Structure 1
Amino acid sequence: MPEPLKKLLHEELVGDMADHVAAHAPAFDRERFVTLATDGLVALELMERSALIRDALLATLPGDFPKAASILKASLPAADTPGLSGWMLLPVNQFIAARGTDHFDLGLDLLKALTPHFTGEFGIRQFIHRDQQRALATISTWVGDPDQHERRLASEGTRPRLPWAMRLPQLVKDPAPILPILTALMDDPEDYVRRSVANSLNDIAKDHPDLVAAFIAGHIDGASAERRRLLKHASRTMLKKGHAQALANFGFDPATALTCELRLQNGEVAFGEGLDFEIRLTNSGETAHSLMIDYAIHHIKADGSLSPKVFKCKTLTLAPGQSHAIERRHAMRPITTRRYYPGEHRIAVLVNGAESASESFVLRMPSPDPGQCLFVRCT
């Protein structure tokens, strides 16, 4: 089993942070910082640990932000000299977010300086929330920066729904101000940056699918292979939901002359095993069809209702009169991301976003208590 994420921030790391800061601030109270930053640390989760270390920085660095910023910037790695880097900079992000917005340009500059050594995406959001227009005016200048990490920060830091970070409600409501940033980075030479652009567009599509579908339609003609991959990744939520324009952007038009059959090998599945099934597709029309095949498992919830989860399956082109069979096993393994209940579930085949066939199956749990639920994931 992998180590819990919370262990990325630990007592030894706190000691290393203290050493790096103390090397550039003779008046820094190293021992007090370590005491404050490790008091109860082991009982906390990752972001709680980061907040504890942030509070220790707030208590021990100068109250004057320009002085504190000068110390932190000097404490970053330089040439062959080690310094604050990696997960040490998560609480530094939080420190800058807490103290830096009253010194707007200096705070943004510090986040830009630290991002090659970790990322500034967590701290920058408070600046966007405080004064979106001013923050974006600065961030938009980073799209041409020679450093790929700083270019990525322009995209990742402005994502409306960045995981683990504060949401940006103004950009959730109206993402138009960040579209020029995403457009400028769409053909970035680094896949690392392009994937961030795709993730930001996917964030926006959760609230504004028509806007993103239209944006992609406007940028897909003549696109390079790299841009097409970016645009398709950006469309993943819309494609799973069968958004008509998103499907059409990639040539997945309604397959009106298609026959779809779904056959289950086992109508009952024991927890820990898998559902074996076959999908058979036949093009009975006179033209070829480009097909995106997904399937959805409709899980039973605690109240007995069904909730679908869509899984990617295959894309293919069927010539007129051609048939194609797909065999899959949908395995179920216990993890902590889904409560699973026994009883009748449903599997549905989605062809170009439209449900084309479905069957029911029964999940049997190993517990003698029919009301007991287990945590599992379907893969």
Structure 2
Amino acid sequence: MAEPLKEIFNADAVAWLGQRLATAWADFPQDGFARAILADLPSLELKARIERIALEMQHLLPGDFTKSVKIVTKALGAPPPAGDGTDFGNFRVLACHRFVSLAGLDHPDLALEYFARTTRHFSAEFDIRPFILRDQAQVLAVMRAWADEKDWRLRRLASEGARPRLPWGLRLNALVADPKPLFPILEALRDDPVEAVRRSVANNLNDIAKDHPDLLVRYVKPWAKAEARAPLIRHALRHLVKQGHAGALELMGVDGKADLRAGRIKLDAKAIAIGGSLGLGVTITNAGDSSAYAIVDYAIHHLGARGELRPKVFKWTKLTLGPGESVTLARRHSLKPVTTRRYYPGGHKVDLRINGQRVAEAPFDLLPGAGTGEIPQKGQYSGRYRGY
């Protein structure tokens, strides 16, 4: 089994950071820093480890943020080369970013200057968010300027840091309520030459779609005139397509009047143990008089801790069927424990969705297996942690 993500912030990471801080500031108590943190580290999960390190930095670095932020910046050194957009850098730097969002909230100009430089070491998308909450207009204005910068890592931060519903990040409720202040940034980046930046724009749009579906469809519809934006638009509309939103499906080329039918979902087992996999099969037929485009998804309705079923939609395929044409699809769905989901034994079900519409379903039982895939969920980290 892969090493838990929290082990990125282990004794070696603490030693690495302590050494760099001591090199940048001769008075930094490197040994005491490590000793204090390592006493707590084994009992902490990922985010709480980041928080613990940042709090110790705040305790030991100068209380004057104008001095401490210079020390941290110096400790990180020169940013690595930008690369091609596939390497996001050193995860350990998150502890330094968290220090800045804890100690620098009353010094936004210095903090934003720090983020602009050090997001090149590792994205500052989580820790810029407290500053957006404090003064949205000011920070978004700075981020709009970043959207024109040469380094793709800074351009990506302009979008990713302002996502209304960034996973693991503070929710930006004002932008959830009214996302229009984001539009100048997204428009500046929609044709970015780096895929990682365009992907961030699509994720930002997908966040907006969850609260303003009709607005989002109206907003991106003119973008579709440029064929090169098709992948971005597909990714931006993925939530709405799964929900069967008519406007999103139309943008994806779906004819809402198409007569697509599905047979019974065939499962290769009525019961499967956690850690195994479930075989799915179904036949889809175009009963109409013209060719029809089909976006085929399926949802596994997972049993929750309170006995409720919660659907998780997965992509299956996209296809075009001629009049009267049928196709039989088959795939396997893994039920191995993963770091983002806990499995509970009991009754589950799977449903099939064609162009966002549920057309068939079948039940199955999930049996106890090698593990439940349990991970700390929101609210299970250290009670002191409030940043991400």
Aligned to 1:145: 149
Letter in 2 for 1:298: H
Q: Among residues 359, 365, 372, which one is paired with 1:375 in the alignment?
A: 372
TM-score under structure 2 length normalisation? 0.86
8 Å Cα contact 2:300/2:312 also seen in 1: yes
- Counterpart position of 1:320: 323
What is the match of residue 214 of structure 2?
A: 210
Q: In structure 2, what is the equivalent of residue 74 of structure 1?
A: 74
How much is the aligned-residue C-alpha RMSD, in angstroms?
Answer: 2.4
Cα gap change, 1:156 to 1:281, in 2 (>3 Å): same
Specify which of 87, 104, 110 is matched with residue 91 of structure 2. Answer: 87
8 A contact 2:303–2:343 mirrored in 1: no
SS of residue paired to 1:116? coil
Contact (CA 8 Å) 2:147, 2:185: kept in 1 or not? yes
Match of 2:171? 167
Partner of 1:370: none
* 1:285 counterpart SS class: coil
Give the drift of 1:249. 0.7
- For structure 1, which runs of at least 5 residues remain unmatched after alignment? 368-372
- Answer yes or no: is 1:237 the counterpart of 2:239: yes
Q: Is the 8 A contact 1:140 1:154 kept in 2?
A: yes
How many angstroms apart in 1 are the aligned matches of 2:308 and 2:36? 48
Say which SS state the counterpart of residue 122 (structure 1) adopts. Answer: coil
Question: Which of 318, 324, 339 does residue 343 from structure 2 map onto?
Answer: 339
Match of residue 133, structure 1, among 130, 137, 142? 137
Q: Which moved more, 1:59-68 or 1:334-343?
A: 334-343
CA separation in 1, counterparts of 2:11 and 2:77? 20
1:330 equivalent in alignment to 2:327: no
Q: Give deviations 1:191-247, integer Å, cap 9, x for gaps.
A: 1111111111112222222222222212112231xx211111111111111111111
The answer for the alignment partner of 2:377 in structure 1 is: none
User: For 1:343-358, what aligned pairs fall within 5 Å after superposition?
Assistant: 343=347, 345-358=348-361
2:248 corresponds, among 241, 246, 249, to: 246
Who is 2:84 aligned against?
none
**Closer, same or farther: CA 145–332 of 1 in aligned 2, 3 Å:** same
Deviation at 1:267, TM superposition (A): 6.2
Structure 2 unpaired stretches of 5+:
81-88, 375-388
Q: Is the 8 A contact 1:260 1:282 kept in 2?
A: yes
Number of aligned pairs? 364
> Deviation at 1:117?
0.7
Residue in 2 that maps onto 1:198: 202
Q: Residues 325 and 52 (structure 1 numbering): CA distance in 2 closer, same or farther, change over 3 Å?
A: same
State the distance in 2 between where 1:338 and 1:79 align. Answer: 38
Greater alpha carbon shift after TM alignment, 50-59 vs 348-357: 348-357
Q: Deviations 1:127-172 (Å, cap 9, x if unpaired)?
A: 1011111111111100011111111110111111222222211112
Give, as a single letter, the amino acid of the residue that structure 2 aligns with 1:355.
Answer: R
Aligned to 1:101: 105
Structure 2 CA distance for partners of 1:246 and 1:88, relative to 1, 3 Å: same
Q: Percent identity?
A: 40
**Rounded Cα–Cα distance in structure 2 between residues aligned with 1:47 and 1:28:** 24
- Distance in 2, matches of 1:187 and 1:148, equals 12
SS across alignment from 2:281? strand
> Judging changes above 3 Å, is the alpha-carbon distance between structure 1 residues 326 and 25 closer, same or farther for their aligned structure 2 residues?
same
Question: Is 1:308 aligned to residue 311 of structure 2?
Answer: yes
Output the amino acid matched with 1:223: E
Counterparts in 2 of 1:108 and 1:334: CA distance versus 1, 3 Å: closer
User: Match of 1:363, SS?
Assistant: strand
Once the two structures are overlaid, the 10-residue window that deviates more, 237-246 or 206-215, is 206-215
Tell me which of the two structures has the higher relative contact order, counting C-alpha pairs closer than 8 angstroms and 6 or more residues apart.
2
Deviation track 1:243-301 (CA, whole Å, cap 9, x = no partner) reads 11111111112244333212425462332554444322222322211111112233445
Quote the Cα distance in structure 1 between the aligned partners of 2:126 and 2:272: 43
